[in-house]
Structure 1
Amino acid sequence: MQKEVQNYCELCGSPIKGKGITVSYEGSIINVCNSCYAKIKGHSKIVDPKKVIYTSSKQQLPKHQKAQPKLESKEDVWEIIDEYPKLIRQARERLGMTTKDLAQKLKVQENVIKRFELGRLKPTIQQARELERVLSIKLLVKVEEKGEEGGANKAKYELTLGDVVNIREGNE
């Protein structure tokens, strides 16, 4: 006679009586108790547990979705140039747009555009890309990674846990 495995709610941790309810909640497929399901049912969708597959990263996906491969390469790092307020204002004026017109195109409040132009608010990378597209200007520059030699120097000056212990003990 096989002993039945006890399932636990993946939200509250309490033992589940019966099979529980498998739901898609905030991008994850989880098994929850009736009490937790009552709390999240407006934000979740019931999933058939027979149609769930497990990927190598233990992420659960419905069978109709394919796991997206994770790219090992480093993403480019972008930075907004320091002269962004002046460039945004000049480009907007060159195109004959008001701050209200630009705000509507970017789907932000007019106050946000004014703050960009005064330098009081720095656009996010996504906002900078939109500004570049709409105004035909260049606001983003790629941050150059130092080569292997620079990387070795960088590692030389990084603080490690051992360094923290030595500092606290007064050894350095």
Structure 2
Amino acid sequence: MAKAKPRICEICGAEIRGQGHTVKIEGAELLVCSRCYQKYGKKKPGTWSPMPTGRQPRRTYEPKPRPKPAPRTQKPLYTEDIVEDYSERVREAIQKSGLSYEELSHKVGLSTNLLKRIAHGEYMPTIEEAKKLERYFKITLIERVEKSVQEKVAIPKDYEPTLGDVANIKIRKKKKK
């Protein structure tokens, strides 16, 4: 006589001793051991977990509140530029002050050499340097240049490009490279 193949619980994998029990879980009939039958045999449908661990989860997941994104700031519609006659304005302001380049360099916060070069028109100051000179001498060296805003052309949703439109796009891409 051949020995009967041992039956295995379809939930925990243990060898079933005795007859075993049939349990219906989520529409499937499973052959289970006595221990699994006690755990899952009398539960309501839909409440059974396929991975019985016998312990509670350590912690629950609580999503962190996401920080609100910073509001988008629009780019200014102007740029700052140094006036064309900056050297004349700085030279006149230095002469009116009656101070030497060394004394002014300490008060303004720029080097003596740099002040001389700006006054003689050999060096155009940066915006920061021009602001220092404006604050000290109370003159205007920076002007705002307005940018012209071009509105984006709206393309209708039902628009289908023609062969000519596609060819123009490809030509423009080649010129950029």
TM-score w.r.t. the length of structure 2 is 0.45
Q: Larger RCO: Structure 1 or Structure 2 (Cα < 8 Å, ≥ 6 residues apart)?
A: 2
| The structure with more radius of gyration | 2
Whose helix proportion is higher, 1 or 2?
A: 1
TM-score w.r.t. the length of structure 1 is 0.47
